[in-house]
Amino acid sequence: MIPDVATFWDGPLDALRLLCLRSQVAAGHRVTLYSFAPLAGLPDGVVNADAEAVLPRAFAERLRPSGPDGSWRDWTTLQFSDFFRMRLMAQGAGLWLDADVLLLKPIEIDPAKPYFAWEKSRQLGNSVLYLPPGDPIIKAFDALMQQDELTPDWLAWRHRLTFAWRKWRGGSQRLSDIRVAIFGPASLTALAQRFGYADYALPRKSYYSIHAEPKRFFEPSDFSALLSDPEILGFHISPKGRGKEQPIPGSFYAWATARIAKP
């Protein structure tokens, strides 16, 4: 089954994200991009939908309170999206792809089984994620969201100790402050292990071959091995601030931009 794709974005989209969205449509997926304000200039085939109907913006105040002007601070968008994708899974919205996932080919899933891949040797990524509605991971997040403190019962001991130490020292009372991805890959990995899902995980290179090395995408290089590997389905780019750069001739970015033509 080739699923519908759903994702979330807050604020203007840069050229890299627009390219990735076009790649998802070009691979044959119907794509819905959720946002709190209408987004102009989206690629053909990408539908803009209201994020408030999935998870109210006010939920972010439980993570990291907004600044004086109401804008989200620091890690808020990333952490909010960790919960947002779980709400999409609960609603049966399809396959979650981060807006910076570039696809080379269509993704096929079994709608009765989880779908994700290793991001690191001991950590799963949640940039590419599918969970069947009613899955125990979704239920675990539902239960977490009923808590006032948003402290997972699957939290690793090292994170528990860090959090307890900060509270004892009079620091932050919010778990969201101790690690940017505390509700993302760390939580998915812990819950997948709890429910025996590790065997479902695809190899790291399926989507994370260049994840931690954006220069392999943005700078001139020989990327032929990436394109010829049949196990590589796409790439989580993780641009680290380089999403607005113009493609450099000879780079993977330039190749992808030329291949995935603008509508």
Average pLDDT over residues 43-69: 92
Q: How far is CA 220 from the centre of its chain?
A: 26
Give residue 25's identity as a one-letter amino acid code.
V
pLDDT for 242? 86
- pTM exceeds 0.75 for this model: yes
What's the longest Cα–Cα distance across the chain?
56
Tens-place pLDDT, residues 100-136: 999 999 999 999 999 999 999 899 999 999 999 999 9
Contact (CB, 8 A) for 16 and 246: no
Contact (CB, 8 A) for 55 and 83: yes
Average pLDDT, the chain: 91
pLDDT for 148? 82
Q: What is the distance between the alpha carbons of residues 151 and 162, in angstroms, rounded to a whole number?
A: 13
Tens-place pLDDT, residues 126-155: 999 999 999 999 999 999 999 888 888 887
Q: What are phi and psi of 31, to 5 degrees?
A: -115, 130
Checking if the pLDDT of 6 tops 90, the result is yes
Tens-place pLDDT, residues 157-200: 676 676 666 666 666 666 666 666 789 999 999 999 999 998 99
What H or E segment, with its residue span, contains residue 46?
A: strand 46-50
CA Rg value for the chain:
18
pLDDT for 65? 76
3-state secondary structure 116-140: EEEEECCEEEEEEEECCCCCHHHHH
Give residue 61's identity as a one-letter amino acid code.
E
User: For 36-45, 63-72, 110-119, 184-193, which range has the lowest pLDDT when averaged over its residues?
Assistant: 63-72
* Secondary structure (3-state) at 185: helix
% of the chain exceeding 70 in pLDDT? 90
Q: What is the distance between the alpha carbons of residues 192 and 211, in angstroms, rounded to a whole number?
A: 21
Tens-place pLDDT, residues 187-246: 999 999 999 998 999 999 999 999 888 899 999 999 999 999 999 999 999 888 888 889
Angle at the Cα of 141 from the Cα atoms of 159 and 29, rounded to 5 degrees: 115
> Where do the domains of the chain lie?
5-259
Angle between helix axes 252-259 and 15-26 (nearest 10 degrees) is: 50
Nearest to 87 by CA among 44, 49, 118: 49
Q: What is the distance between the alpha carbons of residues 99 and 214, in angstroms, rounded to a whole number?
A: 15
Contact (CB, 8 A) for 33 and 8: yes
Contact (CB, 8 A) for 101 and 127: yes
Q: What is the distance between the alpha carbons of residues 72 and 135, in angstroms, rounded to a whole number?
A: 30
pLDDT for 203? 96
Q: Give, as one character, the DSSP assignment of residue 251.
A: B
Give residue 20's identity as a one-letter amino acid code.
C
Average pLDDT over residues 4-27: 96
* Fold classification of 5-259 (topology level): Spore Coat Polysaccharide Biosynthesis Protein SpsA; Chain A (3.90.550)
pLDDT for 141? 97
User: For 4-8, 11-15, 174-178, which range has the lowest pLDDT when averaged over its residues?
Assistant: 174-178
Contact (CB, 8 A) for 89 and 105: no
Q: Are strands 101-103 and 234-236 parallel, antiparallel or unpaired?
A: antiparallel
pLDDT for 168? 60
